[in-house]
Structures are given as structure tokens and as C-alpha cells.
Structure 1
């Protein structure tokens, strides 16, 4: 099976490979999400995942996977959110799944809202580390790496793959 991933970010690519296994053929493409660089709602984050999955699902590709991280405002504060989409020519519309959420510290939420920067940039300032998005991610930092960014996206990919298998077996 040929699987295309709508990113070159190693945390997302590894999440897909960890779930689908080594017997698949993988292609990763740096495609635009078509949404803000920092999605600020579930709807925008979902749309980014769908856009990525659809852009890479063409020609000899069996499955296109799009994974998108964002934030969403609630009455309790600003939460980290993550969504995924799986596209296939055998499906009428993409399959969608969401994953873990965690309340962001007020100092991070404030910077995101006031400065309109990406969470990755805010995390680099906060941690004084480089390329947090390609490593443990905000989720890894705020959970003391009990849950890493790769593991968080693996959960989403497992839900996508499970739904895909369900649809194929109907």
C-alpha cells in the first residue's frame, strides 16, 4: 500500500509509520494546510488536516494522511488540539479523528493571542529549545514527556486507520 503524508515533520511521519508498519511504502510531502499557520479552532485545525490529506491523495497513492495541530478556546482557557484526516479514492469523503487535549499555561495562551505567533515559536521561547515541533512538542513538555508529540499523533492515526478498516469491511 502506498501512503502519502501531507508533511515532512518527523513527529507526524513517524506516527504514521509506527501505526501502519514497515511493510507499506511511504511518501511525505511538504504541502500547505490552506489554513492559518496557527489554527485557532477545532474547525480550522480539522480543515487543515483535510486539506493536507486530500492534496497528497492522488495518482498511485492509496491513502493520504493529513495531521494538524492547533489550539481551541474554551470557557476554561486555551487548549492544545490535534486532528487528522485520511483520504482515499475508495471513500466518498475523508475520515476524521481528533486526539488529546491539554490546557495551555496562561503565559503561553496570552502570547499566542496577543502576538499571533505559532505555538512552536512560543514553545521555543518558553523552553529555550530549538525545533520543539519536530521533537517532543508542547504536549511532551507539558506532560514531562509522558506523552510525546509522536505518541499523541499515533493515537489520531490509529483512530483514522481503524475507521478506514471498518469502512473497507462493510
Structure 2
């Protein structure tokens, strides 16, 4: 059985879990060895645009590759906020580096409630705003805003996992992409 070493550019157990699950589904005949590594995103703690969020994911993957070069893949996962049409939506970008090239994908987005929007406008990060509004502790390393708002029909790991799989499309179709 082939071994694939994956470095997740985060120590957050949710990000490690969703990356591992996505890779296990795509590379189901391989053993996935996963390591979490804390690296900077070089963007704001709470990215406020689509472009900034993608840049944060890309920076995390690149920084993970530089810090731990002996792997097969490096993945950056960055949650962000955008404000189209007087609403505030949450989403994440997934950016994967491999020896052949890169792949990226964005999660679905969902609208945040006005109370959370107010706190974010005050400079508070989404995970902390969730904890304040919903009287939780460290929700960003658990079910996150998506889990809280869907009453755990979709938790944070299952929300990110399809985007991990989509970001791997170029790697499983190399003849089309690289």
C-alpha cells in the first residue's frame, strides 16, 4: 500500500480531520500519514474578502511546504467573510500544493446572523463571535458557525471535506492539468 504524507497547515483538529477524510476518499488505496503544523497565513486573523481568504490558504500551504518539505502534499485551509448585497457570508478556501502543481476549491457559503455580523464589524473574529453569541467555548475547533447554525446537520469538518476533494481534482487528472 502506497503511503502519502500530508501536511495540514494548521493544528486545528477540525482542519486536520477534514483534510484526512478528503484524502482518504480520493486516494482510497493509499495510507495517508497526516501532520498538523502551525504556520502563518500572512493575512488578517479574519479575512474579509474572497481574495484575501484565498491568499491566506495559499500562504499557509506554501509556508507549510517550506517548514516541512519532506511531504507529498501541503494543504492550507482558510475561513473568510464577504459582504455581498448587505449580507455577510462565511466560506473557506482550500489550497493544496503537490510536487506536480496546485489545486484549489472554495466551500459553499452561508449567511451569518446580524448579531454575529455586528461583532465582526467591531473587529472580532468569527469563531470568537460565535462563542459570544451562542455561549460556547472554542467552537472553531469543534462544529463552527456552520454546525451551530445548521444544528449540527453539517459540522465544520464535513463542510470543508467536499472542497478538499474538489481541490484534489488536478492531482487525480494530471494528464488534463499538469
Q: What residue in structure 2 maps to residue 155 of structure 1?
A: 162
C-alpha distance in 1 between matches for 2:176 and 2:31: 21
Q: CA RMSD in A?
A: 1.4
- In structure 2, stretches of 5+ residues that fail to align are 25-29
Q: What residue in structure 1 maps to residue 87 of structure 2?
A: 77
Per mean C-alpha deviation after superposition, the further-off stretch among 15-24 and 132-141 is 15-24
Q: Are the counterparts in 2 of residues 3 and 27 from structure 1 also a CA contact under 8 Å? A: yes
- In structure 1, stretches of 5+ residues that fail to align are none
Determine helix, strand or coil for the equivalent of 1:85: strand
Q: Are the counterparts in 1 of residues 95 and 105 from structure 2 also a CA contact under 8 Å? A: yes
TM-score by length of 1: 0.93
C-alpha distance in 2 between matches for 1:156 and 1:12: 12
C-alpha distance in 2 between matches for 1:69 and 1:163: 22
Cα deviation, residue 121, structure 1: 0.7
Residues 104-154 of structure 1, C-alpha deviations (whole Å, 9 max, x = no match): 0111111111x1110011000011110100111001111111111000110
| Structure 2 counterparts to residues 16-165 of structure 1, below 5 A | 16-21=19-24, 23-58=31-66, 59-91=69-101, 94-113=102-121, 115-165=122-172
Determine helix, strand or coil for the equivalent of 1:74: coil
